[in-house]
Structure 1
Amino acid sequence: MHKAEFERQLTTLIQKGYPEMAGMTADEFTKNLAPLQSLAEALPIQEDDQQEGFVPFVLVVKGDWFDGEKAMQAIQRQKKAGFSVMDTEEIRRFTPIEGIEIPTGMAYLMTEIDTGKETLNVTPNDAMPILLEQQRSPLTLEEGIALITHFPDLLKKNNGFSLLGSRCGDRRVTAMWISENKPKLGWCWAGNPHTWLGSASCQARLDEKKP
């Protein structure tokens, strides 16, 4: 099950132009990500795998290797292309917050992702301690892009999600939601609640050197 899903996600990245954005051929790109497949295959299959808003794993390419604005435009949800209110340079200003350890390789696996239904209408500031108490980690901006790239239908009008794991030094928190029926990467204030925004989180981040 996980083997086929890993191959599907790898194919999706290739089809959406990630090798070109990384300055690689498709074969070179595949070779760089291939070691992660055994980690995906070793993950347990849980009952939560079928739960709405939950994903067992996502293949994440680190932000240094792709253009965030182009990646959003490559996302397709119900035949509508995604978009970002921020350009490439502004997206890159949002970096992982203290306490989040991103694996060192070009890509990694993010596991047991939840889009945050339980934190709808909770401010990002108030959602953070909830996630930490649950021993979960908030998603970064690039992880949010990865999640919607592979699972665009997870994004719903009544359940977008904030990406608390990336900040740029001000009060903004980036988020994904539906706007004009299109996937949108935007931002909201950290102290403002929204009935349609939860806070996405994951259980772990794995690479071939740190299983």
Structure 2
Amino acid sequence: MPAHLPALTTQADRLAALGLLPDDGPLDAAALRSAAAHLATHAPDGSLLVVHPRHLRPSTLAPHLTRSVRTRSGTVDREGFVVVDMADADEFAPTGLEEPLADVYAVVGPDRGEDLANWSPAEAAPELERRGRSPLTLAEGLHWVLQAPDALERNRCFMTIGSRLRKADGTFDTRTPALWISNGTGRDGSQRRGAAKVGWCWWGNRHTWLGFASAVSRVA
């Protein structure tokens, strides 16, 4: 299983160090650190710090999921990426869960749900509800891998079915966001082999190497 997450204040320091929050924005690094310190007073150890996607979009976070990859010429760092046929990743919204309205919140007890590998999203959603767990959103999954890179392991990756895209006619897009490691084939390109990848799977399909990330609760 993935390594224990660092303290919420340490997670805030990591996000601040990446320079993703503008100094003149509604949420700057100082406000982030203050929010993390407040959350640390009541969120359980091992919780995940999440900045609301109105401040940090999935497409902004993805390139920062850097992974060290061994190649014939040595070890290189490869950035994460969003697949070309999911350019609308930022439009996938929290669905079937209560996302805090706070700028910064904590996700309690994240788990990648590998015991549900080879279930379809359609099958896993009611099972997570039966267990009293809430599926992670795409943004939350990205924050998790950013803070704990080994949350993403080859053949042990996960879907984030807490995010779905509602179409103009009111029905849901059948794509389901997921995070896994690129094999560098097809449109990914060999230069992305080993990189963290934001992709998608069909709502009704099963995959032996994808679990379903979920949490116990969210704390603001």
TM-score category, normalised to shorter length: 0.7 to 0.9
Tell me the residue number matched to 1:157.
154
| Partner Cα separation in structure 2 for residue 108 and residue 6 of structure 1 | 10
Q: Deviations over 1:100-156 (max 9, x none)?
A: 111111111011000111111111111111111110000011111111111112101
Kept after mapping to 1: 8 A contact 2:43/2:219: no
Tell me: CA distance 1:85–1:118, structure 2 relative to 1, closer, same or farther (3 Å): same
Aligned length: 193
Q: Deviations over 1:22-42 (max 9, x none)?
A: 85399x332245234243344
Tell me the residue number matched to 1:172.
175
Aligned partner letter, 2:106: L
Tell me the residue number matched to 1:139.
136
Tell me the residue number matched to 1:48.
none
Larger radius of gyration: 2
Range 131-140 or range 85-94, more displaced: 85-94
Tell me the residue number matched to 1:14.
16
| Partner Cα separation in structure 1 for residue 162 and residue 26 of structure 2 | 31
Tell me the residue number matched to 1:192.
205
Tell me the residue number matched to 2:31.
31
Q: Name the SS of the counterpart of 1:60 in structure 2.
A: strand
Per the TM alignment, residue 43 of structure 1 is displaced from its structure 2 partner at its CA by: 4.0
Instruction: Provide the TM-score with structure 1 as the length reference.
Output: 0.83
Tell me the residue number matched to 2:104.
107
Kept after mapping to 2: 8 A contact 1:58/1:109: yes
Kept after mapping to 1: 8 A contact 2:57/2:139: no
Per the TM alignment, residue 4 of structure 1 is displaced from its structure 2 partner at its CA by: 6.2
| Partner Cα separation in structure 1 for residue 43 and residue 141 of structure 2 | 21
Kept after mapping to 2: 8 A contact 1:3/1:41: no
Where is the helix percentage greater, Structure 1 or Structure 2?
1
| Partner Cα separation in structure 2 for residue 3 and residue 161 of structure 1 | 17
| Partner Cα separation in structure 2 for residue 85 and residue 5 of structure 1 | 31
Tell me, which stretches of 5 or more residues in structure 1 are unaligned?
A: 46-55
Tell me the residue number matched to 2:88.
90
Per the TM alignment, residue 63 of structure 1 is displaced from its structure 2 partner at its CA by: 1.0
Instruction: Provide the TM-score with structure 2 as the length reference.
Output: 0.79
